[in-house]
Amino acid sequence: MKKLRFILLMIFLFALVAAGTVLGVQFFTKTGLFRIPGVVYYDETLNEVEVEFFKTIFTEEVDLDKNVTISAVETLEKPTEEQGHFLYEIYVPVTDFYSTDTSVISEKIYAPETKLIKLSELDSTVKLLSIDDKYYLDEFDSGAVFRSIVFESEAYEKEIEPLVKDALIKTFPTKDDVLTFAQTGVTALSRGMDVKLKSVGMDATYFAKNIGDYLSSFDLTHTSNESSFSNGAWARNICSNPKFIDTLTAIGLDIVELTGNHNRDCGYDAATETVEQYLDLGMQIVGGGRNADEAAKPLEISEKGTNVTMLAYNQSTGGATYNSLPGANQYYEEDAARNITAAKEKGDIVIVDIQYYECNAYASTYEDPACDYANSSAGDQIGFFRHIIDLGADIVVGTAAHQPQTFERYGNGVIYYGLGNLFFDQVWWPGTTRSLILAHYFYGGKILQTKIVPTVYGDEMQTKLMDEETTKWYLDRLIKVKP
């Protein structure tokens, strides 16, 4: 009997020790019946919306073994990829469309007067600012506020990553999918430029020295070239020495607009051969050509997920093509309406360039603002350009003006009444030495931004970008006279 009680006691003690061991292990290792579950800590750097979002992931049903702390951090440089770090949102500084501001300093990025919006909300109705002169749509890794979510947990790979990875991986615009397109104004590589060409040893890249790298950085670069290449070019005609092709290639020219009224000044053969040279170099043409059919053909651009239809017309200044003769594409209402409607039905962005009447306020050497106004030239320029927006165009650009004109938002589009001279010999009047580059940024089939970039040249005829102070002064001058 004693032996039996002893055996039973030993069995009981063994079972008790075994149970104690199991329960102890469970308790001290936080597993099993008496484990302490992991806790989710929401750092004060998170906003209310983010906390509520993460509570939909880390619900009461989620059973963690280890604690996790979730926080947010913001930087002015795109963060490098690290374990537990997710780029959650990008904020960009913006201002009113008509503001003359171009940049904000980093010290004021969180100031009350600085407006930050999500990058996904950016469109052409507001003006994107640089941060410390870094423009996000040029840089992509700076010029914005980058907000990241950070997870800290001893069991990150096992517990946290499977829960949050799919929910937090986001796609933001990159250089690979934002289409950049620089539109420039009048180019006429002739007359005084021919004289200057000879004085610099026939090096036509001389004229693009200060602007070539900038314009070449765009996916597409356009200009309205008004002079054809000819061996008969000299100081008194609007014809271009054949060497001037090097000026155009130095700016990375992709699209040549031919709506100008001087392309036939050196004869039909020169005009035709010039177009053929452009095409041989892989450049595209719009608004003119070797015959009427070619001149009337819309330029269809399809790159980086964006489709653009570009139309270009000569409305008034002459030089139009007829049948088999080379020249500019004459404006006809029915043609414009049909082409714009067809492009919009396809979902394209529509840009319409117009060679309109010129403003002639060139009789002085002082700052004459007469041509700043939209209606400074003959005819109803405001009514005509607005009508093209009413037909459905997104952007209307005047490409005849030899000095920049004002601009405006109208209806569902934007009008730039005149871009001025990119390259020309008109150095006598301050207005004609300036131009506006329209730096378009397209993403996912929409217009993200059009940045207005003024240029200037002097007696040396080397076009360059205006400095920031002069840019603000000049934009203010143009904005004050908008319709």
For 183, phi then psi, to 5°, come to -100, 130
Alpha-carbon distance values, 168 to 41, 50, 55, 127, 223 (Å): 18, 11, 14, 28, 43
pLDDT of residue 35: 60
- Tokens in use for 189? 């590589």
At position 205, the amino acid (one-letter code) is T
pLDDT of residue 62: 95
Does any domain span residue 173? Answer: no
Q: Is 193 exposed, middle or buried (0-12, 13-18, 19+ CB in 10 A)?
A: buried
3-class DSSP state of 451: strand
Does any domain span residue 19? Answer: no
DSSP per residue over 362-404, as a string?
Answer: -S-SS--GGGGSTT-SSS-HHHHHHHHHHTT-SEEEE---SSB
> Of the residues 168, 202, 231, which one is the last residue of a structural domain?
168
Same domain for 199 and 152 = no
pLDDT of residue 378: 79
Does any domain span residue 193? Answer: yes
Furthest-apart CA atoms within the chain: distance in Å: 134
* DSSP for residue 453: E
pLDDT of residue 7: 52
> Of the residues 168, 194, 225, which one is the last residue of a structural domain?
168
For 356, phi then psi, to 5°, come to -105, 180
Single out the residue of 282, 261, 263 nearest to residue 273, CA to CA.
263
- Tokens in use for 12? 């009981």
> Of the residues 168, 192, 210, which one is the last residue of a structural domain?
168
- Tokens in use for 79? 């963060």
pLDDT of residue 169: 87
- Domain of 319 in residue numbering reads as 178-479
Cβ(455)–Cβ(421) below 8 Å = no
Buried b (16+ CB within 10 A) or exposed e, 162-176: ebbeeebeeeebeee
| Beta carbons within 10 angstroms of residue 182's beta carbon | 25
Same domain for 223 and 158 = no
Does any domain span residue 372? Answer: yes
Q: pLDDT tens-digit profile of 419-442?
A: 999 999 999 999 999 999 999 999
Single out the residue of 420, 426, 423, 383 nearest to residue 398, CA to CA.
420
Cβ(179)–Cβ(306) below 8 Å = yes
In the predicted model, residues of the chain with pLDDT beneath 70 are 1-35
Does any domain span residue 92? Answer: yes
Q: How many domains does the chain have?
A: 2
Same domain for 196 and 164 = no
Q: pLDDT tens-digit profile of 350-387?
A: 999 999 998 877 777 888 999 999 998 778 999 999 99
Alpha-carbon distance of 415 to 271, in angstroms, equals: 30
Q: What is the CATH number of the domain that holds 364?
A: 3.60.21.10
Residue 200 contacts by C-beta under 8 Å, 6 or more apart in sequence?
A: 206
Alpha-carbon distance of 407 to 399, in angstroms, equals: 13
pLDDT of residue 13: 47
Does any domain span residue 23? Answer: no
